[in-house]
Amino acid sequence: MSTYKDLVRALAYRSGLLGLLHRIRNRHTLTVFMFHRVLPATSSAYASAEREYTFTREGFAECLDFVRKHYNLVDIDQVTAHVESGAPLPARAGLITFDDGWRDTATHALPELEKRRLPGLLFLATSVLDDDGAAWWQDALVQTLAREGDLARLESMLGISAVDAIDLRTRIYNVTAAVGEMSPDARLEFLHACHAPLTPERQMLSRADVRKLGSIKLAGHGHSHVPLTHSADPLDDLQRSHGVLQELGAHANVMSFPHGAVDDAVRTAARRAGFTTCFSSKPVLMDVRKPWPGDIGRIHVPENAWTTGANGINPAKLATFLFFRPSAA
Domain limit, last residue, from 202, 230, 249 = 202
User: How would residue 163 be classed by pLDDT, with cut points 50, 70 and 90?
Assistant: confident
| pLDDT interval class at 6 (50, 70, 90) | confident
Residue 4 binned pLDDT confidence (cut-offs 50, 70, 90): confident
Residue 254 is predicted with a pLDDT of: 98
53: helix, coil or strand?
A: helix
* Structural domain count of the chain: 2
Q: Which of 182, 202, 222 is where one domain is finished?
A: 202
Q: Looking at the structure, do residues 40 and 125 belong to the same domain, yes or no?
A: yes
Residues 114 and 239 in one domain: yes
Q: Annotate 78-144 with DSSP letters as a single string.
A: HHHHHHHH-----TTEEEEEEEETBHHIIIIIHHHHHHTT--EEEEE-GGGGG--SSS-HHHHHHHH
% helix / strand / coil in the chain, to the nearest 5?
50, 15, 35
- Both 170 and 233 in a single domain? no
The per-residue pLDDT for 164 is 63
Q: Is residue 125 part of a domain?
A: yes
Q: What is the pLDDT of residue 77?
A: 98
The pLDDT score that the predictor gives to residue 92 is: 98
Percent of the chain with pLDDT over 70: 99
The rounded distance, in Å, linking the Cα atoms of 75 and 118 is 9
Q: What is the CA radius of gyration of the chain?
A: 20
* pTM of the predicted protein model: 0.96
Dihedral sign computed on CA atoms, order 56, 57, 58, 64? positive
Of 202, 221, 253, the residue that ends a domain is: 202
Question: Do 192 and 106 share a structural domain?
Answer: no
Give the whole-angstrom CA distance, residue 217 versus residue 253. Answer: 13
Write down the pLDDT at residue 48. 92
Q: Between 329 and 145, whose confidence is greater?
A: 145
Regarding whether 170 and 219 lie in a shared domain, the answer is no
Other Cβ atoms less than 10 A from the Cβ of 268: the count is 12
52 and 121 share one domain: yes
Domain assignment present for 190: yes
Q: How far from the centroid of its chain's Cα atoms is residue 193's Cα?
A: 29
Same-domain status, 117 and 52: yes
Q: What is the pLDDT of residues 20-65, one digit of tens each?
A: 999 999 999 999 999 999 999 999 999 999 999 999 999 999 999 9
| Domain hosting residue 115, numbered range | 27-131+204-304
Other Cβ atoms closer than 10 A to 226:
25
Query: Distance between CA atoms of 329 and 317, rounded to whole angstroms?
Result: 25
Same domain for 158 and 121? no
CATH of the domain at 269: 3.20.20.370
Same domain, 212 and 153: no
Q: What is the pLDDT of residue 329?
A: 75
pLDDT band at 148 (very low <50, low <70, confident <90, very high): confident
User: Do residues 219 and 126 both lie within one domain?
Assistant: yes
- Asked whether residue 167 falls in the same domain as residue 221, the answer is no
